[in-house]
Amino acid sequence: MFFIENIYRVQRKLLLVDEVKLMSSDLHTHTTCSDGLFTPEELITAAREAGLSYIAITDHDTVDGICQLYEQGLYPNPGIRIIPGIEFSAHHETSEIHILGYNIDIYNRELGDRLNDVVEARWTRFSTMVGKLQELGYDISETDVLEFADVSTSISRSHIAQAMVKKGYFPSIRDTFDQLLEKGRPAYVSNYRLEPGEIIDLIKNSGGTPVLAHPKLVYDDALVEDLLKNGIEGIEAIYPRHDEEDTKRYLAMADKYHLLVTGGSDFHGIAGRAPQSLGEFVVADSYAEALYREPAL
């Protein structure tokens, strides 16, 4: 009996190794080009060290991370399959809608022009928010925040929050958002955003696949279904903040509307924001394989 159990354990172990091998992709990550902590190069190194087979870089409103990797000779990469991506925030009165775009042509002219508009609007918003904080009596300057933005062209509220935490005003980024930066709080300024339909067309026109990101965070399944019926080609059903029930529900929606299923960790590398390391939350390689294209650059 003891012997049989041991064999079973060995087999189980082999099975797990096999399962791990097939479960090593992450289709949602951020770098210093938006609000992540790792440079694109560091992210790729970390992903290789974590043994990932596929990684998609999906920075907010920018494809600079992929451009940098390409220019450094790191994309394509012999150690890992990289999928160029982006994450857009869409305009909506009440909900937070994020749309991922995979396999976009990073040098597409129309995409580049629209992204410039968005980035420019982000800088105006950033100045206005810092101004509001100063009016509220906080000793904070644009330079203090820029220290955290590093090479990012996609300045965001996270950068402002990081500067406020460093100055000792709040214990965490979350607290800063809750007190000051969230919609309805005193330093909030609304953002210029493209309409969902505009984003979907932009992604498709640059050769990409539009995917609805973390549908649970839309907090409105009727709206989710509405989006799925209007040009979205995939749904990020697998996400750290989805529980088992959520995942099942979104997988069923993918089935109903004949959509691709994707999943990713939304890794930022920022302390206090899960997951803390790459490889902690991964999805089956088959989801990545369905999206992966050999780089045409």
- The residues of the shown chain that bind Zn ion, judged by CB under 5 A, are 87, 98, 213, 266
Whose Cβ is closer to Zn ion: residue 58's or residue 176's? 58
Count of CB atoms situated within 10 Å of the CB of 223:
16
Q: Give the integer Cα–Cα distance in Å for 126 and 98.
A: 20
Whose Cβ is closer to Zn ion: residue 11's or residue 95's? 95
Whose Cβ is closer to Zn ion: residue 142's or residue 198's? 198
Query: In angstroms, what is the minimal distance from the CB of 256 to Zn ion?
Result: 23
Query: In angstroms, what is the minimal distance from the CB of 100 to Zn ion?
Result: 8
Query: In angstroms, what is the minimal distance from the CB of 218 to Zn ion?
Result: 10
Query: In angstroms, what is the minimal distance from the CB of 264 to Zn ion?
Result: 8
Q: Give the integer Cα–Cα distance in Å for 207 and 64.
A: 17
Q: Give the integer Cα–Cα distance in Å for 86 and 23.
A: 22
Whose Cβ is closer to Zn ion: residue 94's or residue 141's? 94
Query: In angstroms, what is the minimal distance from the CB of 274 to Zn ion?
Result: 13
Q: Give the integer Cα–Cα distance in Å for 211 and 233.
A: 6
**DSSP class per residue in the chain:** -HHHHHHHHHHHHHHHHHHHHHS-EE--B--TTTT-SS-HHHHHHHHHHTT-SEEEE--BT--HHHHHHHHTT-SSBTTBEEEEEEEEEEP-SS--EEEEEES--TT-HHHHHHHHHHHHHHHHHHHHHHHHHHHTT----HHHHHHHHTT-SS--HHHHHHHHHHTTS-SSHHHHIIIIISTTSTT------B-HHHHHHHHHHTT-EEEE--GGGG--HHHHHHHHTTT--EEEEE-TT--HHHHHHHHHHHHHTT-EEEE---B---TTSS--STTSS-B-HHHHHHH------
Whose Cβ is closer to Zn ion: residue 56's or residue 213's? 213
Whose Cβ is closer to Zn ion: residue 64's or residue 87's? 87
Whose Cβ is closer to Zn ion: residue 144's or residue 266's? 266
Whose Cβ is closer to Zn ion: residue 218's or residue 253's? 218
Nearest to Zn ion by Cβ — which residue? 98
